[in-house]
Amino acid sequence: MRNRFTRRRTLARACSPLALALSLAAAPAVAQTASDAPVNLDLGSVLSTGTGVAADLVQTPGTAPYEAPSKAPLNSSQPTSQVTRNTITNMTTGTESFADIARLTPSVSTIDPNGPGLQESNGPVLRGFQDGQYNVTFDGIPFGDSNDFTHHSTSFFTAKQIGQMIIDRGPGTAETVGDATFGGTMSIRTINPSAQRTVTPYGEWGSWDTNIGGVMLNTGSIQSANGTSAVVDAEHLQSNGGKTNTPQERSNFFGKVMIPVNTGTVVTVMVDYNKLFQSFDTGATAAQMAAYGTDYGNSTDPTSQGYYKYNTDHITTDMEYVDVQSNFGNGWLYDGKLYTYAYDHRGMNGLDPTQGITTGNVVTTTGTTASGVPLQKMEMAYRSFGTIQRLQKNLSFGDVKAGLWYDWQYNTRFQGEYVYVAGQGVLPNYTGYPSPTPGNYGQIDRLQHNQLYTFQPYAQLDWKPIDGLTVTAGLKYNMFRRTMNAPYNQGTQTALGFDHTWGKLLPSAEVKYAFNPNFTVYAQAAEGFLAPNMKILYIPTPSNNNFKPMTTINFQVGGTYQVQNLALSADVYNIHFQNYMQKAGSGTNTYYTNIGGAIYRGIEGEAAYTLGYGVTAFANAGYNQAFRTGSGDYITQAPQGTANFGMIYDQNGIYASVMDQWTGGEYSGTSGAINSPWANSPAGGKSPGGWYDPYNVVNLAVAYTFNHADPYRTPVKLKLNVDNLTNNRKAIFDQGTDGNNEILYTNLAGIGAFVNLEVPINF
């Protein structure tokens, strides 16, 4: 996630896409049947909702498990919530990101200050764990920035390509892979090709001059190619954004091909490409909102650091994988992936945009002094290569599983000081350099070449001693290596070479019991791990560090019940966060050390009930506590609860929903700032910063599918989404402070309305 000034900023650029090729031995072409379909062993996709009749409920319109925006799968063995394609297509806008979809589940909060998906989300936050403290996976592949494990909600893919999301609120079992199993896993599953051959033009138009145009092609089953099927989606989005002068433009291409090789093997090839341009904002001061309104973002004054053309991102990403899934027979199952992904980010920003018109004397490449607007330019480029290999043997007493995840990421990060001089453009700023040389970068804040290696082998046993009971025990080894070659290290601007490897064994144990196909309970004890953030290297002598990597010990119990008219689940959790790191010392003696830990605990629940006549009532909520051990200080940026509740009507081609999303109060961590009318110091000294009260956002969705009852005619769908129906514009959080020590506030985006039209054409 991005942070500027007093916040961290994740900045990136990426290398050119890698072409993946897989050579398969020739085999007799036999169409695959449903009973022969191999099991995908990636965590998330294996979470069915049960067996037999119970499993069918989540696929049956009108039932509570189908209509519920969020439900716990009957087969889950830790607190888990699933958001299906039905909810994504009906309740959300086409602009929304995976963060907005995750917000539909308990204990997840996120902020879209520029409108839904029209700027990188602040968050999401999961049970108080921040972005970078939990995994996000894409079809089972862990991805993110290697420097701090954060993610970019507007990059890689769109809501149209998300088939479902599964939020695991826990470290999972031994087979759960990723650099940040610490706080849980947000698993994004892509759409699969549909059975029908269609081409579907679609468009969306809405507030802030937002428009989307796209087309999706489904080939259906191609009999001449052994039943191969494919889905291809191309989409373009353009919007001015919910804040002033914060436009976004995004183009995306997605393709997925599934190739049955024989009765037991399917090869899947996926390609995704995303290109984005945006002018971003970093929040507004109280004075700016008083003068220009709560929707103030950027200015149109080229003499200001806040000029929208100075605060821009150009981001290009790609992701590709080849997946082979095989059922060898006799209980042997295999799933193997080869993948690569890349992130290419080139950006510019005013040195301190909220300070308005600010000029100063700078030294240019010729050594002369000029007057201009101080700016920063940055680049960040990384590419990951990796593989996930899984093998499973089904035995009479249970299942034995083994596998590994290996990932290598190469990351280059640069930031330098520049200046805009009227008539000359943007020039390097050589202020402080004794003898500027043309062609140099000017003042360099950081120039780093980093590598991250992760290797995680695991073994796991799922023992089934009696019908309905599964006892799971597993062990995973996490090997993690960081290297850095930095001519200019961040924080010190001095050269640094670093190479260190960490390793840890992570045990897990779970017990799950199904009283019947509709009712399951579970208990989990597992250890999570968070690989060290690269900030530990932003000191003069990293070898002085004497910390241990951060870990969690998780204890969770819960249960799930599903029948035709009721979907119900609940859980309680207690998480002990160990080895909290903090900077100590000063100057050349600065180092990181462990100062204790934190406790995360709470209770969560989900419920949906069908009232008849197409009406379903739903609610989910989480009560979350997070505080430091020893001091008792609350964790900042951790809402103390979330809730989603409302009603759905789904019948006769009409879908309508109204949902109230409530986010509990939280501490910001900002203190001692001036001009802070919304951030007051909390009573009792439980946190060092300001307190923000709870807030509500009400969203409405109405859709009608024409020809829904006629199998011979095209089912055209028209949908209206209205976000923030009550136009709540309150300040709900802050981004730290600017150079004048004034708080930069984040406000809710105003009411936004979006109309979506889809016209599938069979051919």
What does the pLDDT look like over 540-552, one tens digit per residue? Answer: 888 888 778 888 8
The CA distances from residue 45 to 103, 181, 190, 638, 660, in Å, are 20, 18, 10, 29, 29
CA-closest candidate to residue 168, choices 626, 558, 505, 473:
558
Compute the distance between CA of residue 507 and CA of residue 514 in angstroms, rounded to an integer.
24
Task: Show Cβ contacts of residue 70 under 8 Å, excluding neighbours closer than 6 positions.
Answer: 81, 82, 83, 87, 104, 105, 106, 606, 620, 644
Q: What angle do CA 9, 14, 17 make, to 5 degrees?
A: 150
Q: Is 674 exposed, middle or buried (0-12, 13-18, 19+ CB in 10 A)?
A: exposed
Compute the distance between CA of residue 686 and CA of residue 694 in angstroms, rounded to an integer.
18
Q: What are phi and psi of 35, to 5 degrees?
A: -70, -25
pTM of this prediction exceeds 0.85: yes
- For the record, the structure tokens of 482 come out as 């960081």
- Greater pLDDT, 8 or 292: 292
DSSP 71: B
Q: What angle do CA 125, 175, 158 make, to 5 degrees?
A: 45
DSSP 59: T
CB 442 within 8 A of CB 433: yes
Compute the distance between CA of residue 12 and CA of residue 284 in angstroms, rounded to an integer.
25
The correct CATH number of 34-762 out of 2.40.170.20, 1.10.10.10, 3.30.910.10, 2.40.40.20 is 2.40.170.20
Peptide bond into 124 cis (omega under 30): yes
Q: In 184-331, which ranges are E strands?
A: 185-190, 198-206, 210-218, 229-239, 248-262, 265-279, 312-329
Task: Show Cβ contacts of residue 525 under 8 Å, excluding neighbours closer than 6 positions.
Answer: 508, 509, 510, 553, 554, 555
CA distance between the termini of the chain:
43
In this predicted structure, the answer to whether residue 23 has a pLDDT above a threshold of 80 is no
In this predicted structure, the answer to whether residue 162 has a pLDDT above a threshold of 80 is yes
Confidence class of residue 391 from pLDDT cuts 50, 70 and 90?
Answer: very high
Sign of CA dihedral 81, 85, 86, 90: positive
Compute the distance between CA of residue 294 and CA of residue 548 in angstroms, rounded to an integer.
44
Percentage of residues in the chain having pLDDT higher than 90: 60
Distance of CA 717 to the CA centre of its chain: 28
**β-strand pairing of 469-488 with 425-428:** unpaired
- pLDDT tens figures, 302-324: 988 999 999 999 999 999 999 99
- pLDDT tens figures, 461-497: 999 999 999 999 999 999 999 999 999 888 888 889 9
Compute the distance between CA of residue 737 and CA of residue 741 in angstroms, rounded to an integer.
5
Compute the distance between CA of residue 383 and CA of residue 522 in angstroms, rounded to an integer.
39
The pLDDT of residue 631? 78
Which of 221-225, 231-235, 261-265, 632-636 bottoms out in mean pLDDT, i.e. has the lowest?
632-636
CB 197 within 8 A of CB 118: no
376: three-class secondary structure by DSSP: strand
The pLDDT of residue 97? 93
In this predicted structure, the answer to whether residue 762 has a pLDDT above a threshold of 80 is yes
CA-closest candidate to residue 184, choices 98, 126, 108:
126
Which of 17-31, 290-304, 372-386, 698-712 bottoms out in mean pLDDT, i.e. has the lowest?
17-31
- Greater pLDDT, 633 or 321: 321
The pLDDT of residue 241? 94
In this predicted structure, the answer to whether residue 529 has a pLDDT above a threshold of 60 is yes
Q: What single-letter amino acid sits at 207?
A: S
CB 128 within 8 A of CB 121: no
Confidence class of residue 358 from pLDDT cuts 50, 70 and 90?
Answer: low
The single residue listed with the structure tokens 């308990």 is 106
How do the domains of the chain map onto residue ranges? 34-762
